[in-house]
């Protein structure tokens, strides 16, 4: 197993390289980069000045390859390129970025007066809180509910819970978030929960117990919205996985030997049915950690990594884009490895090392 873990850790290196390279090529080809944005601002200012001084005539003092760059001094454009690091060819910029990443130096944001590392550390508590608690609660609720539905398949309990699950699946998480705000955050009815931030303004003055209560008080609505909007798929997956195992021959044989229902369910069926559930954990966690929480962060005014990455992509803030991409890719690969190791905890018969051999 140690050899397998070592090989998987080594595999992370070329995987990260390939993902960063592909995204670097795509982003370099996209228009509207930081140099073009700076040129657009200068063109707007200088264009207005030229029209005032020259009676509306356009002045062209040079030409370049950037969109909207005609009329600007080539030396000024060269200085803008040097400022954003675009005075070097793309391959050289890519290798410089990789060498800096080896030292965990992600550079500085183009448009924020902070390093990428400081921005990630600043936004990390929000994303970890949303992703961790939402995923944990979703699994704790969906797995028992899915098992209960499988053992009561076709009963009124199964029918009514399926109806509720379908409603939860059909309505996006952000609509649930808006509904929760209307009902419980001072929208139209009760004002029981806060609507902004991860903690209160007087958080540092609270006792330890008060800090814990305040923390979960702020998380109650966003985590609830994420769980309600995402637990349906996992619940149905659990139910179908257990139903498939319950109908297999080894379960019929175990029952024929006189084993109790719980002994058959949790001693034989559970570890086989849970394999497919564990397989989906990495994607579920990363989805909650980043993509699933973006709109929730916006609605509840939570400034996390999802919002940071989205704004960086819109503004072409390349250091932040690649820094967060590196973080999420590395996190996803590590969580995937942890998921594989969890396979062996659920079912010790699985041996990845012998399968690779």
Question: Could you report the per-residue pLDDT of 207-263, keeping only the tens digit for each?
Answer: 888 889 989 998 899 888 888 877 888 888 888 888 888 878 888 888 888 778 788
Using the Cα atoms of residue 29, residue 35, residue 38 and residue 44 in order, give the sign of their dihedral: negative
Confidence band, pLDDT 50/70/90 cuts, at residue 349: low
Looking at per-residue pLDDT, the higher value among 293 and 115 belongs to 115
Band the pLDDT of 44: cuts 50, 70, 90: low
Phi/psi for 108 (5° steps) reads -115, 150
* Cβ atoms of residues 313 and 321 within 8 Å: yes
What is the model's pLDDT at position 341?
76
What pLDDT, on the 0 to 100 scale, is given for residue 57?
37
Alpha-carbon span 241 to 325, nearest angstrom: 33
Residues in CB range of 210: below 8 A, 6 or more apart: none
**Calpha distance 298→300 (Å, rounded):** 6
State the Cα–Cα distance between residues 150 and 244, nearest whole angstrom.
9
Segment 158-193, tens digit of pLDDT: 899 988 888 877 888 888 888 888 888 876 788 888
Largest CA distance in the chain: 98
Beta bridge pairs of residue 185: 191
The helix or strand, by DSSP H or E, that contains position 72, with its residue range, turns out to be none
Give φ, ψ of 220 to 5 degrees. Answer: -55, -55
* pLDDT, averaged across the chain: 78
Residue spans per domain, the chain: 31-105, 116-356
Give the per-residue pLDDT at 55.
43
In this prediction, residues 278-290 reach a mean pLDDT of: 68
Give residue-wise pLDDT tens across range 285-341.
676 666 556 788 888 888 888 888 888 888 888 888 888 888 888 888 887 787 777
pLDDT of 60 over the 70 cut? no
Which range, of 26-30, 51-55, 149-153, 207-211, averages the lowest pLDDT? Answer: 51-55
Residue 282 phi/psi, 5-degree rounding, is: -55, -45
Report CA 11 to chain centroid distance, whole Å: 22
Q: Kindly report the pTM of this predicted structure.
A: 0.73
Taking residues 70-79, report their average pLDDT: 67
Q: What is the pLDDT of residue 255?
A: 80
Between CA 72 and CA 60 the distance in angstroms is: 7
Structural domain 116-356, CATH architecture: Orthogonal Bundle (1.10)
| pLDDT at res. 252 | 81
């Amino acid at each position: 197993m140690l050899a397998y873990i070592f090989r998987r850790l080594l595999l992370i290196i070329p995987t990260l390289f390939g993902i960063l390279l592909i995204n670097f090529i795509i982003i370099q080809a996209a228009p509207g980069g930081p140099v073009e944005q700076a040129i657009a601002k200068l063109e707007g200012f200088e264009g207005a000045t030229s029209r005032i001084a020259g009676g509306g005539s356009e002045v062209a003092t040079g030409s370049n390859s950037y969109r909207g760059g005609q009329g600007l001094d080539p030396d000024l454009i060269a200085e803008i390129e040097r400022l954003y690091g675009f005075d070097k060819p793309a391959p050289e910029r890519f290798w410089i970025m990789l060498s800096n990443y080896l030292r965990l130096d992600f550079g500085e944001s183009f448009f924020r007066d902070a390093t990428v590392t400081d921005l990630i550390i600043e936004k990390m508590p929000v994303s970890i809180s949303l992703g961790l608690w939402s995923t944990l609660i979703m699994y704790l609720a969906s797995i028992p509910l899915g098992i209960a539905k499988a053992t009561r398949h076709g009963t009124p309990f199964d029918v009514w819970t399926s109806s509720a699950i379908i409603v939860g699946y059909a309505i996006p998480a952000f609509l649930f978030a808006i509904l929760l705000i209307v009902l419980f955050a001072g929208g139209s009815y009760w004002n029981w929960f806060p609507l902004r931030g991860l903690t209160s303004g007087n958080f540092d003055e609270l006792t330890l117990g008060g800090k814990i209560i305040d923390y979960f008080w702020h998380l109650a609505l966003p985590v609830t919205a994420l769980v309600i909007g995402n637990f349906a798929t996992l619940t149905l997956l659990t139910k179908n996985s257990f139903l498939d195992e319950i109908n297999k021959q080894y379960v019929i044989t175990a029952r024929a030997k006189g084993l109790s229902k719980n002994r058959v369910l949790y001693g034989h069926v559970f570890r086989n049915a849970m394999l497919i559930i564990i397989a989906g954990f990495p994607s579920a966690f990363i989805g909650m950690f980043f993509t699933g929480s973006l709109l929730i962060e916006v609605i509840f005014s939570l400034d996390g990594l999802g919002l940071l990455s989205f704004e960086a992509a819109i503004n072409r803030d390349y250091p932040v884009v690649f820094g967060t991409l590196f973080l999420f890719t590395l996190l996803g690969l590590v969580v995937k490895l942890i998921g594989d190791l969890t396979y062996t905890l659920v079912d010790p018969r699985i041996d990845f090392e012998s399968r690779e051999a």
